[in-house]
Amino acid sequence: MGNSFGQLFRVTTFGESHGGGVGVVVDGVPPRLPIDVAKVQFDLDRRRPGQSRLVTQRQEADEVEILSGTFEGLALGSPIAMLVRNTDARPHAYDHLKDVFRPSHADYTYEAKYGVRNWQGGGRSSARETIGRVAGGALARLMLEAVANVEVLAWVSSIYNIDAEVDHRSVTLAEVEAGPTRCPDPDAAAKMESAIEQARRDGDSLGGVVTCVARNMPVGLGDPVFDKLDALLGAAMFSLPAVKGVEVGSGFSSTRMTGLSHNDPFVPGEDGRVHTTTNHSGGVQGGISNGEDLIIRVAFKPTSTISSAQQTVDRDHNPVTLEAKGRHDPCVLPRAVPLVEAMTLLVLADLWLRQKAVDVL
């Protein structure tokens, strides 16, 4: 089972949705790196349930405990283990799903593959597993900010058929966090909020797109062939629950352009580096970062758990009509923003360490 991600900066997540807790072991954090627990907690607070009326009302503080790997506020260089205890788990709320396969969930495929599954909230397949990713990503953020001043910021750029107008070069964390949708375009955010509330009333759900930018990118992250920066980002994003599409730079829109209009011309920069006048490449050329802003868009499907009646089958393949109960997000996008940031940070931290390993001459 794939529970680990990364080579030199490596995370291993653990725990189930309604078990004792969830967490992560992070290996590869450089010794003497200052570990600000408040900053780790800040990212976890952005992911936690119950933070607004637009998301699941499960009430979890998601307070992080650092169990190992630090001393007097500094990383020791040994594995850093972090734990978040489940305090509002309600496993018996899922008793009606014990023998039923929920449409578009991992229930059927997980049981078909392993012959056993935790049906209490999806167990290991629950999005609650992403707590470990966000905690690990927060450590990656601390490292990247310290060694390269890299800034990673994501926001909701669309929900359903509502698109936001956002300038990736100037959008700020304060603008993203100004409202519960995490869309920094106030007009679009108001429409998104209404659409999510209507979907909840209708017993339905909505999907959308999270856009992420990494600024102050170093040149040279990523390797040719299989470990290209965009390839690793794609693998990272597709490992997140509900992700169905990933674009870097112009993405699919490049198919409607010509080579002349899509190519990014090079010019000398005042900082002594080469720059491009456009950024259709999204900061990645030949699988290697070119120093321009890294731009990623990640598509999330509508939440699979909805309260409307749906047709499915039980373990004996008998037809069943299912009306899901319990607490769920009518739209995962607001809480997906820190997830996209975390996976971007984990990829960049790993590649930065790998690049330092070859910078010996």
Q: Which regions of 271-309 does DSSP assign to beta strands (E)? A: 274-276, 284-285, 288-289, 294-300
Average pLDDT of the segment spanning 121-149: 92
Residue 326 in tokens? 């319990």
**What is the tens place of the pLDDT at every residue in 32-49?**
999 999 999 999 999 987
For 134-146, what is the HEC assignment? Answer: HHHHHHHHHHHHH
Cα 54 → chain centroid = 18
Average pLDDT of the segment spanning 14-26: 91
CA–CA separation, 274 and 133 (whole Å):
34
The whole-number pLDDT of residue 2 equals 87
Residue 56 in tokens? 């699941």
CA–CA separation, 218 and 229 (whole Å):
12
Closest CA to 107 of 304, 245, 303: 304
Q: Where are the alpha helices (DSSP H) in the chain?
A: 37-47, 107-114, 130-148, 173-176, 186-201, 229-238, 259-262, 333-358
Closest CA to 240 of 144, 128, 112, 119: 128
Q: Is 90 exceeded by the pLDDT of residue 125?
A: no
Q: Coil, helix or strand for 167?
A: coil
**What is the tens place of the pLDDT at every residue in 139-155?**
999 999 999 999 999 99
Confidence of residue 264 (pLDDT cuts 50, 70, 90): very high
CA–CA separation, 211 and 267 (whole Å):
27
Instruction: Output the CA torsion sign for 240, 219, 148, 30.
Output: positive
The whole-number pLDDT of residue 90 equals 66
The whole-number pLDDT of residue 292 equals 98
CA atoms within 13 A on the CB side of 180: 20
Closest CA to 334 of 134, 198, 162, 159: 159
Task: Report the helix count and the strand count for the chain, using DSSP H and E.
Answer: 8, 18
CA–CA separation, 70 and 54 (whole Å):
36
Confidence of residue 51 (pLDDT cuts 50, 70, 90): low
Average pLDDT of the segment spanning 59-76: 92
CA–CA separation, 280 and 80 (whole Å):
38
C-beta separation of 151 from 216 below 8 A: yes
CA atoms within 13 A on the CB side of 74: 7
Region class of 145: left (phi > 0), else alpha (psi between -120 and 50), else beta:
alpha
Q: Is 90 exceeded by the pLDDT of residue 306?
A: no
Q: Coil, helix or strand for 328?
A: coil
C-beta separation of 181 from 196 below 8 A: yes
If one compares 318 and 322, the residue with the highest pLDDT of the two is 318
- In the numeric block, the tokens 């599409």 are attached to 245
Cα-flanking dihedrals φ and ψ of residue 279, to 5°? -140, 50
CA–CA separation, 300 and 331 (whole Å):
9
CATH class of the domain comprising 4-358: alpha beta
Average pLDDT of the segment spanning 162-184: 97
Confidence of residue 327 (pLDDT cuts 50, 70, 90): low
C-beta separation of 274 from 259 below 8 A: no
Confidence of residue 360 (pLDDT cuts 50, 70, 90): low
CA–CA separation, 28 and 13 (whole Å):
15
